[in-house]
Amino acid sequence: MSRSLSGKVALVTGAARGIGRATALRLAADGAAVVVNYRANKAAATEVQRAIAAHGGEAAIIRADVTKLDEIDALFEAASSRFGRLDILVNNAGVGGRSAFSTTEEAAYDSLFAITKGVFFTLKAGLTHVEDGGRIVSISTGLTRGWASGAAAYAGSKAAIEQFSRALSKEAGPRQITVNAILPGVIETDMTAGMAEEVRSAARSQTSFSRLGQPRDIADVVAFLASDDARWITGQMIVVNGGSTP
């Protein structure tokens, strides 16, 4: 495995499971020290830390709920205190949930957009803490490119993150910081485990490879965007969905 990120420090939000876990492991494999952020599942975060250490990497687990602005500030301060710098920020924290307009309650809507607010202020903190020449990557969803029934609130909350990324790429550009977002298709995670089999089958059939995505499929693209090879890519919304068609 390449050690192209040796000497770098990465902060991955929502890193205890799924895409966040795979991303933390991949960035560590490439040589970065990793801050494994989690909100509730300390045991899972600790397992990620141990997996990184078992392969000779360095990681710290830091609890923070990114829907709470004071905890965002504390997260970045703790990361800086632990490692002395920050080069890569990956916004992965999120919640799932699809429902029709007719059945979407205010509480569910607010839960989705609380994450969106958290991403905005995590990006703001990242702009302050990420070193010149650093990398910022946010995880959106391929649903922002379609017209899926029941996806209005979820896709809408993610679409805002894409606009945040575009605008921030201009503001961060003078410091040579790249800012991009990844738009995954359906990925095998805890968030999608409860899908009905007919929905999973349909999602598989829409890809070019007749399978659902795996967390590492996204983590590998994050690693590329975090590397020097991606220095000329910024402000981009990168669809990573195995050729899935709407």
What is the pLDDT, as a whole number, of residue 99?
81
- Paired strand residues for 137: 90, 180
**Could you tell me the CA-to-CA distances from 224 to 99, 179, 220, 234 in Å, in that order?**
34, 13, 6, 12
Query: Cα(137)–Cα(89) distance, rounded to whole angstroms?
Result: 6
| Stated pTM of the model | 0.95
pLDDT score at 93: 83
pLDDT tens digits, 158-205: 999 999 999 999 999 999 999 999 999 999 987 777 778 888 888 899
What pLDDT shows up at residue 94? 79
Catalytic (active site) residue 109: no
Reduced to 3 states (helix: H, G, I; strand: E, B; else coil), residue 42 is helix
Q: Residue ranges of the domains in the chain?
A: 9-239
Minimum mean pLDDT range among 95-99, 179-183, 234-238: 95-99
Q: Above 60 in pLDDT, residue 103?
A: yes
> Which candidate in 38, 83, 154, 164 is catalytic?
154
Over residues 212-233, the mean pLDDT reads 97
Q: Give the full edge-to-edge strand order of the sheet including 9-12.
A: 59-63, 33-38, 9-12, 88-91, 135-139, 178-184, 237-240
In one letter, which amino acid is 74? A
Contact 43, 93 (CB under 8 A): no
Nearest to 11 by CA among 29, 38, 30: 38
pLDDT given at position 135? 98
Position 246 scores a pLDDT of 65
Predicted confidence (pLDDT) at residue 132 exceeds the cutoff of 90: yes
CATH fit for domain 9-239, picks 3.30.1360.10, 3.90.650.10, 3.40.50.720, 3.40.50.10680? 3.40.50.720
Share of the chain above pLDDT 70, in %: 98
pLDDT of residue 2: 62
Segment 76-99 shows an average pLDDT of 91
When the pLDDT of each residue in the chain is averaged and rounded to a whole number, the result is 93
* Least confident interval from 62-76, 82-96, 127-141, 156-170: 82-96
Least confident of 12-21, 86-95, 125-134, 193-202: 193-202
**Looking at residue 190, what is its pLDDT?**
77
Q: What would the mean pLDDT of 21-44 be, rounded to a whole number?
A: 97
